[in-house]
Structure 1
Amino acid sequence: MADVTPQVLNRTLLARQHLLERVPAGAPLADPVAMTAHLLGLQAQEPLPPYLSVAARVGGFDPRDLSRALAERRVLRVLLMRGTIHTVTADDARLLRPLIQPFLDKVSRNSGASRPAAHVPLADLVEAGRALTADGPVPVRTLGTALAERFPDAPPSALVNRLREGAALVQVPPRGLWGRPGGVAYVTLESWLGEPDGAFDLGPEPDPETRTTALAAVVRRYLAAFGPGTPADVTTWSGITGIRAVFDALGDELVPHRTDDGRTVWDLAGAALADPDVPAPPRLLGRYDNVWLSHAGRDRVTPPDARRRWMGSNGGVGSVVLVDGVMAGLWSTAEGRVEVELFDRVTRAQGAELDAEAARVEALLATPADESVAA
């Protein structure tokens, strides 16, 4: 069993996330749909972070390419990992939503936003939601009002929250399109992808073999993008439990490494670990990015002091700056200019690289919308 230091884990994560060196234009992963698939989805609570996530990883990225993929339904916005909105490929929406449904059921039971509608039979609520969206997307307020007419003893917002946790609802364009305003409007995932109602339901008694096969594929892909890791890491990233048995079932496909504190982390057999001394250039990411949200310790790129400065009472307080591979500050925009607030001083060379990265993000943000994309 080989030993791995925190620095090796940091650089390996950044390498697999393509945050050490951007994917060059023309390479297969330069396609934003391919990068979205490699990362198993992009954090998308807000419209901008998915674009920042791809821009940090792909050279010459044009945000209109991802916007076009969203309009063409090759990627979509749906409630998934950790009960948060993600931009994922259509195939990964099909794969992940049934696996994550038990976690979302738990969220629905425990969430203050959904609990006022907990007494409404879920099957009835889902049937009503499907009927209301049968003719196309419905704005969230309209959907809530219509549901409250059918279930008058529950608040509209709670009904919508419970519905989106109990059935896969897609946030349809123009929401999420580059440079285009758009409120939240919902339609079912099945309808959006042209599948029959209930096509992605896990069912009360899912076939164990089918579920295990799907989870094994997810674990392999998780390690390729976030590894080395542990079952607890996969659960933190996804909300899916029972991952230890999947690691065990993968057998010789995985190899163990021992960390400085005596823990065991697992990796794909033959996967390379990064050189701990390789430089990590500055990167500007969004308010949220799975690179720092997908491990149980959540410390591979976020020192505790820095994380406390980023973390507010309801989530991150600002967009994130990485310097030398770790969270080192926050950034915002004012009149088209990127303004960086660093937590500590950086070297002159790092400062120059940070200026270049800020200029790159300013150019990205100045990219006009693609008016040919139909919402």
Structure 2
Amino acid sequence: MLSRRALNRATLERQLLLRRHRLTAHEAIEHLVGLQAQTPHTWYAGLWTRLAGFDPAEVSALLTERQAVRMALMRSTIHLVTARDALRIRPLLQPVIERSTRAVFGRGVAGIDPGELALAGRQAVEERPRTFSELGRVLGERWPGHDQAALAQTVRAALPLVQVPPRGVWGASGSARHASAEAWLGEPLRGDYPVEEMLLRYLGAFGPASVRDMQTWSGLTRLSEMAERLRPRLVTFKDENGVELFDLPDAPRPDPETPAPVRFLYDFDNLLLSHADRSRVVTDSYREQNFDAHGPMPRLILLDGFTAGTWTLAVQRGTATLTIRPFAKPSDEDAGALAEEGAALAAFAAPEADVREVRFAS
């Protein structure tokens, strides 16, 4: 049996959060099987909190040099992944992306041949990168009377599209324009990457984990049979509720009393989104905040490895203010660690600010 605390420490170690690691950004992105990157830039903090000496220019170069891309993948959400993972993982998640898109936009494309729509969409985005609004207008000329947003989103589901720079580049801005992954990366999609290999990598970055955890992370369903096929290659445990957990035999499972430093997570950090049971990290104090499920995602703080507060950063008139809102009054030692880490994060996230300050709010 693995206690909640043992699961916490194992997951933090896999997520590169028990210590800052000396990896390249490319190595870290591949190890983590990507970072959720819904926003243009907040995910940079996710690499900063994991890597020693992290330089955001390194990731910007990966994007501009087409060694990494931002595209719809796990759970049909935008992820930052290496070019290699974009080409081999995207085909595995085709059913997830099509299913979620059809549920929302299916009526808007009723009566249209899917193959014709996908071909027209490919021609449009390979002519030049386009926003979804632009793509919808182009497709609307061919299929007048149909919802243009539905046309564009259906193409997004049918084709692997990437958001092209300057979108996502550190310190830059730009509209979300899309090209086909194959044209942008100059290589075809891979159809031979095993789902089993992707799940083994998930365990390496998020394990130990249950079948429901695997499904929550990927968006795929009916993974029980896949887990049974993998069982001879894995070890199994039970959590405190008796749920079976799968893991790699040689994966790190630190002592539950291993110290966990203060960590500031960005708003879509996969640590918080990739398990069906999030109690290995999420506390009752977090649940008591009653965050709006449809509102902005909170940026959370970890104390002793568990959710203990939120943070925000505001820059106004040359002053960057990082505000920490603990769920409970921290000890003097914890308050000092929070202030120190918060100051370092403010320096990273707002390098242009003349003044930086950290304050605590109740």
Q: Which residue of 2 aligns with 1:363?
A: 347
Q: Which residue of 2 aligns with 1:373?
A: none
Matched ranges for 1:266-285 at <5 A = 266-285=246-265
Q: Amino acid of the residue matched to residue 177 of structure 1? A: V
Q: Which residue of 1 aligns with 2:357?
A: none
- Name which of structure 1's ranges 358-367 and 101-110 shifts more when overlaid on structure 2: 358-367
Kept after mapping to 2: 8 A contact 1:255/1:266? yes
Q: Secondary structure at 1:251's aligned position in 2?
A: helix
| Inter-partner Cα distance in structure 1 for 2:288 and 2:182 | 40
Q: Which residue of 2 aligns with 1:290?
A: 270
- How many Å apart are 1:140 and its aligned residue? 2.6
Match of 2:15 among 10, 14, 17: 17
CA deviation vs aligned residue, 1:303-333 (integer Å, no higher than 9, x gap): 2441463742325433222222122222111
Q: Which residue of 2 aligns with 1:193?
A: 185
**Compared CA separation, residues 317 and 290, structure 1 to 2 (3 A):** closer
**Compared CA separation, residues 118 and 326, structure 1 to 2 (3 A):** farther
Q: Which residue of 2 aligns with 1:40?
A: 33
- Name which of structure 1's ranges 54-63 and 127-136 shifts more when overlaid on structure 2: 127-136
Q: Which residue of 1 aligns with 2:241?
A: 261
Kept after mapping to 2: 8 A contact 1:109/1:118? no
Match of 1:250 among 193, 217, 230: 230
Q: Which residue of 2 aligns with 1:344?
A: 328
Match of 1:233 among 189, 198, 213: 213
Q: Which residue of 2 aligns with 1:7?
A: 5
CA deviation vs aligned residue, 1:178-202 (integer Å, no higher than 9, x gap): 0101111011111111135xx45x6
Q: Which residue of 2 aligns with 1:69?
A: 62
Structure 2, unmatched stretches of 5+, are: 353-362
Q: Which residue of 2 aligns with 1:214?
A: 194
Kept after mapping to 1: 8 A contact 2:41/2:169? no
| Inter-partner Cα distance in structure 2 for 1:36 and 1:114 | 33
Match of 1:96 among 83, 89, 96: 89
Q: Which residue of 2 aligns with 1:155?
A: 147
| Inter-partner Cα distance in structure 1 for 2:124 and 2:115 | 14
Match of 2:128 among 106, 117, 136: 136
| Inter-partner Cα distance in structure 1 for 2:35 and 2:111 | 33
* TM, length-normalised to structure 1: 0.88
The answer as to 2:125 corresponding to 1:116 is no
Structure 1, unmatched stretches of 5+, are: 25-29, 203-209, 369-375
- How many Å apart are 1:272 and its aligned residue? 3.0
CA deviation vs aligned residue, 1:220-253 (integer Å, no higher than 9, x gap): 1111110001221111001122322222222331
- How many Å apart are 1:134 and its aligned residue? 2.1
| Inter-partner Cα distance in structure 2 for 1:353 and 1:119 | 59
Matched ranges for 1:160-175 at <5 A = 160-175=152-167
Q: Which residue of 1 aligns with 2:45?
A: 52
**Compared CA separation, residues 149 and 307, structure 1 to 2 (3 A):** farther
CA-atom RMSD in angstroms = 1.8
| Inter-partner Cα distance in structure 2 for 1:345 and 1:19 | 23
CA deviation vs aligned residue, 1:128-184 (integer Å, no higher than 9, x gap): 111112223123321121111112122222221121122111111111000101111
- How many Å apart are 1:65 and its aligned residue? 0.7
Kept after mapping to 2: 8 A contact 1:43/1:49? no
* TM, length-normalised to structure 2: 0.91
Kept after mapping to 1: 8 A contact 2:268/2:297? no
Q: Which residue of 2 aligns with 1:313?
A: 293
**Compared CA separation, residues 64 and 214, structure 1 to 2 (3 A):** same
Match of 1:79 among 68, 72, 77: 72
Kept after mapping to 2: 8 A contact 1:140/1:160? yes
**Compared CA separation, residues 270 and 366, structure 1 to 2 (3 A):** same
Q: Secondary structure at 1:266's aligned position in 2?
A: strand
CA deviation vs aligned residue, 1:275-325 (integer Å, no higher than 9, x gap): 111121111121111101111112221124414637423254332222221
Q: Secondary structure at 2:280's aligned position in 1?
A: coil
Q: Identity over aligned residues, as a percent?
A: 37
| Inter-partner Cα distance in structure 2 for 1:95 and 1:242 | 20
CA deviation vs aligned residue, 1:95-143 (integer Å, no higher than 9, x gap): 21111111111102212x5542344332121111111122231233211
Q: Amino acid of the residue matched to residue 172 of structure 2? A: R
- How many Å apart are 1:82 and its aligned residue? 0.6
| Inter-partner Cα distance in structure 2 for 1:166 and 1:243 | 23
Count residues with an aligned counterpart.
Answer: 348
Q: Secondary structure at 1:47's aligned position in 2?
A: coil
- Name which of structure 1's ranges 301-310 and 123-132 shifts more when overlaid on structure 2: 301-310
| Inter-partner Cα distance in structure 1 for 2:110 and 2:39 | 27
**Compared CA separation, residues 308 and 104, structure 1 to 2 (3 A):** farther
Kept after mapping to 2: 8 A contact 1:114/1:159? no
Match of 1:327 among 285, 307, 313: 307
- How many Å apart are 1:89 and its aligned residue? 0.6
| Inter-partner Cα distance in structure 2 for 1:272 and 1:190 | 36
